């Protein structure tokens, strides 16, 4: 039986999510845009899910736009807000963003936008002073990741919003890794846009959402039908949306004790690994982090070799972001933090979930210790 510690890459769908989705794939398959009773019944299911997703972040249902996932939500947010502001050609992001933001920013630079990145300290915390200095009169948007997908470090988004508000700049937050793990309340967090993904919080893959605060102008990036209030055309992924709604409702009611239990298991993993393996370094441990993420670097070892041997012994983990696996270079996040390359090359991300048990951690520590000893013996 494998031990799955790669929940920042994706999570196991809840049984209740699968059960809710199945009827939409079988009997209730009508198109929600159809006017007949069957179609309108399905439409009602979508709107119920919209209420559930809105409830997770304390938004209004009309402020939720369903998409195909976090990446589309991010692209729609950034491009959709830049287009209506032709006089503002400046975007600010950070050096530790997800590739969905980084790659889009690279493309926008080719199109003539000016892109500025704010840095982080060695613990992965945003340099707010640098942000203050970089905001300009033509800044259209500030886009920051809330919880870093590699290190679990939580950004001070409230402070970012304060800086933005002082200059009349909108803020987009990538909350893909924070939703379901960190309390999100858009009534108190004055962001204009916020991106979500279902499969990071025990929902299905292929569905996400964009929170769009009222009176925020947004231009579609895809054209076609009039679904999602003319903001995201295309026949809706009904089963995915309904599954997302169930997962969001479950996340909203997750007991604090569950979050504390996950954090305890994560802390236990880190402490035992550091005690057993002298070359282990916890990355981002000095910062405020989400409960489930441990990024541990093993000095002078290679992450790829570690992951292969761990996988052979039934331990599922990852090297940084799953979508950048296969690269021989340390992740851009660890480079931005100034992590010693000898540590960064051997950095492994372990990410837990509500399904992780103490026995899982016991097995992971034993196997990891054996794997590191084997690889260390080869290092001259």
DSSP 312-330: HTTEE-BSS-GGGTT-SSP
Where helices occur in 26-63 by DSSP H, the ranges are 37-57
Assess whether 338 and 243 both reside in one domain.
no
Residue 328 is given by DSSP the state: S
**Helices (runs of H) and strands (runs of E) counted in the chain:** 13, 12
pLDDT (0 to 100) of residue 329: 79
pLDDT (0 to 100) of residue 74: 98
Assess whether 286 and 214 both reside in one domain.
no
pLDDT (0 to 100) of residue 1: 61
Q: In the annotation, is 291 catalytic?
A: no
Of 161, 291, 316, 323, which residue is the catalytic one?
A: 323
What pLDDT, in 10s, does the model give residues 340-370?
Answer: 999 999 999 999 999 999 999 999 999 999 9
Q: What are phi and psi of 30, to 5 degrees?
A: -65, 155
Assess whether 325 and 295 both reside in one domain.
yes
Instruction: Tell me the residue range of the domain where 159 lies.
Output: 15-252
Assess whether 224 and 85 both reside in one domain.
yes
pLDDT (0 to 100) of residue 378: 80
Counting as low any pLDDT under 70, the low residues of the chain are 1, 320-328, 380
Total number of domains constituting the chain? 2
Beta-carbon count within 10 A of 128 CB: 15
pLDDT (0 to 100) of residue 40: 97
From 218, 252, 286, give the residue that closes a domain: 252
From 208, 233, 252, give the residue that closes a domain: 252
Q: Rounded CA gap, 26 and 42, in Å?
A: 12
- CATH code at 267? 3.90.1150.10
- CATH code at 40? 3.40.640.10
Q: Rounded CA gap, 254 and 252, in Å?
A: 6
What is the helix (H) or strand (E) element at residue 303, kind and residue range?
helix 303-312
């Amino acid at each position: 039986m494998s031990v799955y510690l790669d929940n920042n890459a994706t999570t196991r769908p809840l049984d209740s999510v699968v059960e809710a989705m199945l009827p939409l794939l079988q009997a209730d398959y009508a198109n929600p845009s159809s006017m007949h009773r069957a179609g309108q019944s399905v439409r009602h299911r979508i709107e119920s899910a919209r209420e559930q997703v809105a409830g997770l972040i304390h938004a209004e249902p009309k402020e939720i736009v369903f998409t195909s996932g976090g990446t589309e939500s991010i692209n729609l947010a950034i491009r959709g807000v830049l287009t209506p502001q032709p006089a503002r050609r400046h975007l600010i992001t950070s050096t530790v963003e997800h590739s969905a933001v980084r790659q889009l920013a690279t493309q926008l630079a080719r199109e003539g936008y000016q892109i500025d990145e704010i840095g982080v300290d060695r613990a992965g915390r945003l340099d707010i002073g640098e942000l203050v200095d970089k905001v300009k009169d033509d800044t259209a948007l500030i886009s920051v990741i809330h919880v870093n997908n590699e290190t679990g470090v939580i950004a001070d988004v409230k402070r970012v919003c304060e800086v933005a508000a002082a200059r009349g700049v909108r803020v987009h937050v990538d909350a893909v890794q924070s939703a379901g793990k960190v309390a999100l309340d858009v009534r108190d967090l004055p962001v204009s846009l916020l991106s979500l993904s279902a499969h990071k919080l025990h929902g299905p893959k292929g569905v996400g959402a964009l929170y769009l605060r009222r009176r925020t102008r947004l231009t579609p990036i895809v054209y076609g039908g009039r679904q999602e209030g003319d903001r995201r055309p295309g026949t809706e992924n009904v089963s995915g949306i309904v599954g997302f709604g169930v997962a969001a409702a479950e996340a909203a009611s997750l007991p604090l004790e569950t979050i504390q239990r996950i954090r305890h298991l994560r802390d236990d993993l880190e402490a035992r690994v550091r005690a057993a393996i002298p070359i282990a370094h916890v990355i981002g441990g000095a910062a405020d982090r989400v409960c489930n993420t441990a990024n541990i670097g093993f000095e002078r070892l290679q992450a790829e070799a570690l992951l292969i041997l761990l996988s052979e012994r039934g331990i599922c983990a990852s090297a940084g972001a799953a979508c950048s696996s296969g690269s021989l270079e340390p992740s851009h996040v660890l480079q931005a933090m100034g992590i010693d390359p000898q540590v960064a090359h051997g950095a492994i991300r372990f990410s837990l979930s509500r399904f992780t048990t103490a026995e899982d951690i016991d097995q992971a520590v034993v196997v990891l210790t054996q794997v590191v000893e084997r690889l260390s013996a080869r290092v001259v």
